[in-house]
């Protein structure tokens, strides 16, 4: 069996895709793109040094583009205050009485929880909204009155 340069580039691209699937390292796909581009350069009749330059430019360019795209994407909220992670965020609790330290105990989903006041001003009894879950306690702010 005779392997030419384009076949070797295609095999390398395939191996990089398999390695990405096994490791989850998305950047390996960028290197696979570079190898595919080098294979196309081989089909175009370009020399080996040009193939290497094409592979390097495409791999590096794709990696840089992906890096900058991710850097400009909005960051998600921390897990303790992210509604996608914890469905208690945004739920209401009723605080009967606040302690002098801005802490209280509330009943929520059949259990007693510690709550800390995280709003502005002084805490007052009444309805509050959960804004963060930290271990076994909630950070709350006053619920918006309708």
Domain boundary pick from 72, 102, 118: 72
C-alpha–C-alpha distance, residues 116 and 129, integer Å: 11
Residue 117 reports pLDDT greater than 50: yes
**Single residue among 72, 90, 113 that ends a domain in this structure:** 72
Token pair belonging to 124: 């007052």
Tell me the percentage of the chain whose pLDDT exceeds 90: 62
Counting the structural domains of the chain, the total is 2
Whichever domain contains 98, its CATH number is 2.40.50.140
Mean pLDDT (the chain) is: 89
For CA atoms 42, 44, 48, 52, give the dihedral sign.
Answer: negative
Neighbouring-strand partners of residue 141: 129
Print the domain residue range for 18: 5-72
DSSP alpha helix (H) spans, the chain:
5-23, 27-43, 48-72
- Give me the pLDDT at residue 146, please: 42
- Tell which wins on pLDDT, 139 or 82: 139
49-106 pLDDT, tens digit per residue, is 999 999 999 999 999 999 999 888 888 777 777 777 788 899 999 999 998 888 999 9
């Amino acid at each position: 069996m005779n392997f030419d340069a384009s076949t070797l580039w295609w095999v390398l691209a395939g191996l990089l895709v398999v390695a990405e699937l096994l490791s989850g390292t998305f950047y390996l796909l960028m290197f696979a793109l570079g190898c595919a581009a080098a294979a196309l350069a081989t089909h175009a009749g370009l020399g080996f040094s040009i193939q290497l330059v094409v592979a390097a430019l495409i791999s590096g360019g794709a990696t840089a583009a992906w890096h900058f795209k991710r850097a400009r994407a909005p960051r998600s909220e921390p897990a303790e205050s992210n509604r996608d992670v914890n469905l208690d965020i945004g739920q209401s609790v009723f605080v009967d009485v606040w302690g002098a330290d801005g802490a209280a105990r509330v009943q929520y989903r059949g259990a007693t929880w510690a709550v800390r006041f995280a709003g502005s001003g002084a805490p007052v009894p009444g309805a509050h909204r959960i804004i963060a879950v930290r271990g076994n306690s909630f950070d709350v702010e006053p619920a918006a009155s309708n």
